[in-house]
Each structure stands twice: as C-alpha cells, then as structure tokens.
Structure 1
C-alpha cells in the first residue's frame, strides 16, 4: 500500500476526503489526502485489462488552460434565447402545417415527429439549467439560480433539489456507497433482488426482458428518480412501508438525500414546479388539452427519455469501474465516466454534454462552450485512462442493458458482470 496525496482545485471538492483551503477566482483550491492502492490492474466486462488510474487531480487541473474557466454572461444568455427561439419556431411551424395534412393518420405521425424534434431544444434548455446548477452559467450566483430555477421549473424539475443531489453525485462519482445516481447493484445485492441464494440459481434474462426494462427506464426512469430516488442510495432508515421510497423524494424538503440547511430551497423548488403546473392548467383552459399535449407533454416525455439516455450511458459501460470506499478518490471517480459522440444533435442541441462529460466531472464550473478545449488538454494527461467511444449510442444502450447487470471484484475495484453469458463470466459460487 502507498499513500497518494492529491492537491488540486475543483469546485466539487467538498467531499469526505477534501478540505477547501482557499478560493482563487472561479476555482476552489483544496487538499485531498486518501490512502489507496497504486498499480491495481483488473479485468473489464469484455475481458480487457483495466488499469486503475493513479494520477492526481492536480496533474489534471494544471493541464487545463485558464481561459477555459471564463464564464461569459452574454454568451450563456445567447444559448438560452437561441433555444427558446428554436422552440417557438418549431411550434409555429408545426401549428401551421400539421393540422392541414390530408388525413388523421398523417396528422398523428406529424405530431409524433414534431414532439421528437421539439424534445431536442427542450433538452437543450434542461442542459443549460444544469449549467446553472453547477454555477457554470455566469459569475453571478443569483443569475445562475434564477435562470436555472425558471428553466428547470418549466420542465417540472425541482431545481435546487436536483442541484443538491447532483452535486453529491459529482463529489462521489463511481463510489458504491456515496454516489447518488445509477449506482449498480453488487453481486450480493443482485442475488438478493432476484430472490435467490446463489448466482447459479439465476437463469439468463431473455432479450425481451432487457427490452422491457430499457423501455421502462427510458420513459419513466427520470420521473421515478425524482419521486423515489430510484438508482440512488437505499437509505434503509426510512423503513419499508409502501410509501417509504417517496420519503426519499426530491420533492420532500425532509428527504434524507438533503441536508437540513437545504429545507427552504427544496420548498422553493416545489413552488417552481407548482407554478408550472398552474401554467399548464391555464394553457389547457385557454388553448385546449390537445395543444398542451402536443406542444408540451409529448416533448416533455421525450426530454425525460433523453436525460436518462444520456446519463445512463455516461456512467454505465463495459469499460467503467466502480469503487469501494478504500480504493476511491476524487481523481479516480471523475475518470469513471465516458465521453461519447452523438452526431449533430449532441453538440448543437445538447450543448456537448455527451461529448465532454469526463472534463465536466473534473471541473463542472467550466461552461460547455469552453469544454472542448479543456477536454483536449486533459486527454493528453489522462492517456489510456481517458475513456471515449464513438459507437452508435443506441447500440451501446442495448449492450449496456445486456452486459451491465451488477458489479463484482475483490480488490475494491468492481467491474460489470451479468448472468446472460456475455463477456467475462462472474465468479462461481
């Protein structure tokens, strides 16, 4: 065993192993001391050798040009108003063309296509609100929180609630007992969840089962996460009543996922959501349910799909590790994510959230329009530990659903395994 002392700067550094020592400009400087094992090598899901990173946060952050940290208010607002303009334009084009199609079938197809297209800029404003939550939108906290609260409330997202839980995710990415979202079950948890005693008792999941699970995940996963913290930490202290999961809700100011000091900000988040529900009521009252259904609800459902699609594939892959506490540190956790490519849609509509996610986990206050430059810089330092894939993301979604069922490993570094006979077989009982 050898001690690794990490000194660097990151706005997400307020974790169990770090203390903030000073602030310089947009960056908090901290010192993190954590004893981990150096030189760990394990095997990923496909049988490839995975070398656990041993570099320090300082090494990564020193490579990032200082210009990447510049948050330009007018540029950030440009993207907000650009996305709103696109949403309004798409809506006007649809309203003035689809109702004039010659039959009901074509009109139905037209509204579905429109909902898909409209969900793209909807997701864009969601991502910009996400930037606000990380204080990457501007140098002014009140501007960030005001813009983020408005944009997220429009999409029924409790802004501060998600901001706080998401911040904890960044502070403990890849940590099996502290991460906040898409925490995979361990081998033991997987067996218990399947009501079995040993892994050998479990049979392979049929592809139709995987398809069903992915459809449920993609269409309902985001709302269920907000309501019950599904895929987050279990919090057994809330009990096991039928309503216990809802105690962990992002809408509950007393939820165990929040600190006591967050209470009134959670209330403010709920007020934002209730305000939007009133707006929707007025929308239906004045323009009819069909207008609200086609212009807001269907794009909203598909936006929720995009959020799960993006975040699941950022943290679930056959190449990615998860760590037990004694082998986790911030530098390793931030590297336990992946950059992907999503054609024109990713950079233009989704503001590079897919293509520059690794950098985002090292320094989330870097605005997205500077993230390409920052990513290029850290790639040179991370070397083989920088994970990137240009595989079609729909193919990857299916592969991750089939391959990534649970994690196992005896070194404190756990990799994905499955009972479907794919990739490296889990250890025998």
Structure 2
C-alpha cells in the first residue's frame, strides 16, 4: 500500500485557507482531450470485452474440475467489464447519442440481471452526494445510535458486509435498491419499470433454458459462479473507492463538493489484468471529478490531477492488508475519528 499524500487534518486546514475551492476550479486544470469521446476506442473495448467473455465461457466448458475456479474468476472479472461499459453508458460518457447509451447499457447489464435505469439514477445520486452523511447511498457507515436500534438479524447482516463478508455487499445493494420502481417518480419510474421488467423477462427465459439444457449444475457453473465473482469485484471496488480509516463522511452543513470528490475518492492499483478487464474503473478520482470522462481517458486525467492537486490525491495498492484494515476499522460513523470499529463500540457499551 502506498502512502496517502496528505493527512486528513491537513486537508481541512488547506480547505480553510482556500474556502472558495470549487469543483469547476479542478476541472479547469484538466486537459481538454480527457473529455473527448473516441468512437473507435469505445466500440473496440466492447468488441474485446465480448470476445474475452466468450473466451471465459469456453474455458468453463473445457476446463477440468480443478481449473474451474480459475475459469470462473476470469469470466466473472470479464463480466465486470460488461458492467463498467454499462456504467459509462449510464453517465453518457460512452456515446454522444442517448439512445445508444441506453440500448448498450441495457444489453451489457442484462447477463448480470441488473436493471440499467434504476442503477443509473441511483448511481448518479451517489455522485451528486459523495460522502455526504445521511444522503450518499453507497457504503455509508451507520451512525452508532442507529446501529444500536437494529434488531439482532440486521446488526449481524451489517457486521458481515462491513467485515470479512464485504464481498457480498453489492448483492444486498442490488437486491434491495434496484427492483422497486415505486421509489421513483414520473418519467424515471417508467424508465425503471422498463429496465426491471426487461431483466426479469430475460431471466425468466434464460435461466429455465440454461437449467433445461445443462441442469442445475450448469446454472451454477455457467451463471451463478461468474456472477458471484462479478459481485466480489463490485463490492470491493465500491467499498475501496470511498472508504479508509481517515476518509470522512460529512454532514451536509460541513460538506464540500470539491473536497468530497477529490479527497474523498481513492485510486487503488489492482493487478493489471483486473484493471484491463474492468476498463480502469479503479482509476476513480477523475471519474468523480467529472463523470463525463470516458474510461479510456481516466489515466491521462489522473496524471493531470496528480500534477495539479497531488496533495489531495489518495493512492493505495490492493492487498489483503488493505482489505483487512478497512474491514477491521471502518464500521460505524465517528464525527472526530471518521470511523469507529465494532470492537471499540461494543467495549464502550460494556464499560457503560
């Protein structure tokens, strides 16, 4: 793990010196070419991704049993690339035409049974309110008093996804948030209903067909296991993107957009094959500074941010020690220390 460039208290003092810092000030320092869409690069990434997913499924078909886990890992990671292409479509950074983004976004997310429009709307809400306490909808820590009010089952579930079972967190997020179109209004409700019914219809045809032709084991082998690998990466990426023991969630009155997007987002280096298959989704800081930057321009934008705003940039390397630190410490909201661990919280309860 590489060191962060600045301590959180230094970030606060810097912000006090520059109270007028705005997101547009950061955007103006980026090269104009990072915002340009390149049709050839965009569609080449789709073609390569489809071929790699096909290669993954071929490896599942022909692999002996002891090699199947490797085939699942490769295929599930390549399917994560499908999601990332859909992710760019949701931000309208893939194509200039909205209908192209919507069509491709639905196609890429169909095999994952992910409703495109509900994810798009909720995810854009996360970008608007990144690390804003009680508002952000992505991996926000529970307040201690709210956690204490939960029943035993819900407490256990929260402890699991904030601990060693973090990798199932995005499955809960997917299931709980993305299939209820009644939480939306107007045109958005109609869009979400369409996406939900589309993926349910796809699943109602694809899953029985898969089971009828390959059996229950075929369903597990060809869909469930790669899908679980995909959710491992989804959970890991989204947790690491905004979580560390000194990254604060701020109440709305104290929240600053520029600081949240720049210093509250994390760049994490993964094995290069993962970054390739997942279209550099790990290069996350420029994506939060501006969602209009296409995936193939994120590295150029990141270099520019390091040159101009390096004191704010956080970089880590993916490792078990990183995940252990996050899952050991980053549990409950603490206004002074950013996070309080379950262990410390329960120790205080015992002492009282």
For 1:324-354, what per-residue CA distance to the aligned partner results, in whole angstroms no more than 9, with x for missing partners? 1111132122121111110213421111111
Shift of 1:223: 2.4
Determine if contact 1:346/1:353 at 8 Å carries over to the other structure: no
Segments of structure 1 that go 5 or more residues without pairing to the other structure are 1-43, 99-106, 196-204, 229-248
For 1:174-227, what per-residue CA distance to the aligned partner results, in whole angstroms no more than 9, with x for missing partners? 1002211111123433444489xxxxxxxxx9xxx97786354313x2222123
Matched, 1:275 2:235: no
Matched, 1:224 2:172: yes
Aligned with 2:258: secondary structure? helix
- Of structures 1 and 2, the larger Rg is shown by 1
Query: Which residue of the partner structure matches residue 317 of structure 1?
Result: 244
The correspondence for 1:49, drawn from 1, 5, 9, is: 9
The correspondence for 1:403, drawn from 312, 318, 329, is: 329
Query: Which residue of the partner structure matches residue 315 of structure 2?
Result: 388
Query: Which residue of the partner structure matches residue 308 of structure 1?
Result: 235
Q: Equivalents in 1 of 2:11, 2:291: separation in Å?
A: 25
Aligned with 1:420: secondary structure? helix
Q: Equivalents in 2 of 1:345, 1:113: separation in Å?
A: 13
Determine if contact 2:162/2:331 at 8 Å carries over to the other structure: no
Shift of 1:360: 0.5
Segments of structure 2 that go 5 or more residues without pairing to the other structure are none
Matched, 1:374 2:301: yes
> Mapping of 1:49-198 within 5 angstroms?
49-52=9-12, 53=15, 54=18, 55-98=21-64, 107=65, 109-193=66-150
Seen in structure 2, the aligned counterparts of structure 1 residues 419 and 250 have a Cα distance that, compared at 3 Å, is: closer
Seen in structure 2, the aligned counterparts of structure 1 residues 66 and 403 have a Cα distance that, compared at 3 Å, is: same
Q: Equivalents in 2 of 1:362, 1:213: separation in Å?
A: 26
Shift of 1:91: 2.0
Shift of 1:259: 3.4
For 1:220-266, what per-residue CA distance to the aligned partner results, in whole angstroms no more than 9, with x for missing partners? x22221232xxxxxxxxxxxxxxxxxxxx4211112xx333311111
Aligned with 1:323: secondary structure? coil
Shift of 1:395: 1.8
> Mapping of 1:10-29 within 5 angstroms?
none
Aligned with 2:249: secondary structure? strand
RMSD: 2.7
Aligned length: 332
Q: Equivalents in 2 of 1:95, 1:409: separation in Å?
A: 52
Q: Equivalents in 1 of 2:232, 2:258: separation in Å?
A: 30
For 1:124-161, what per-residue CA distance to the aligned partner results, in whole angstroms no more than 9, with x for missing partners? 11111111111111111111110011111210111100
The correspondence for 1:353, drawn from 281, 285, 296, is: 281
Aligned with 2:338: secondary structure? strand
Determine if contact 2:59/2:71 at 8 Å carries over to the other structure: no
Shift of 1:359: 0.8
Determine if contact 2:163/2:328 at 8 Å carries over to the other structure: no
Shift of 1:290: 2.6
Q: Equivalents in 1 of 2:163, 2:335: separation in Å?
A: 25
Aligned with 1:184: secondary structure? coil
By relative contact order (CA 8 Å, sep 6+), the higher-ranking structure is 2
Determine if contact 2:8/2:247 at 8 Å carries over to the other structure: no
Normalising by structure 1, we get a TM-score of 0.71
Shift of 1:383: 2.8
Runs of 4+ in 1 over 6 A off after TM superposition: 209-212
Seen in structure 2, the aligned counterparts of structure 1 residues 396 and 289 have a Cα distance that, compared at 3 Å, is: same
For 1:35-87, what per-residue CA distance to the aligned partner results, in whole angstroms no more than 9, with x for missing partners? xxxxxxxxx9xx97342244321221011111111112232111111111111
Normalising by structure 2, we get a TM-score of 0.86
Aligned with 2:163: secondary structure? helix
The answer to which structure has the higher strand fraction is 1
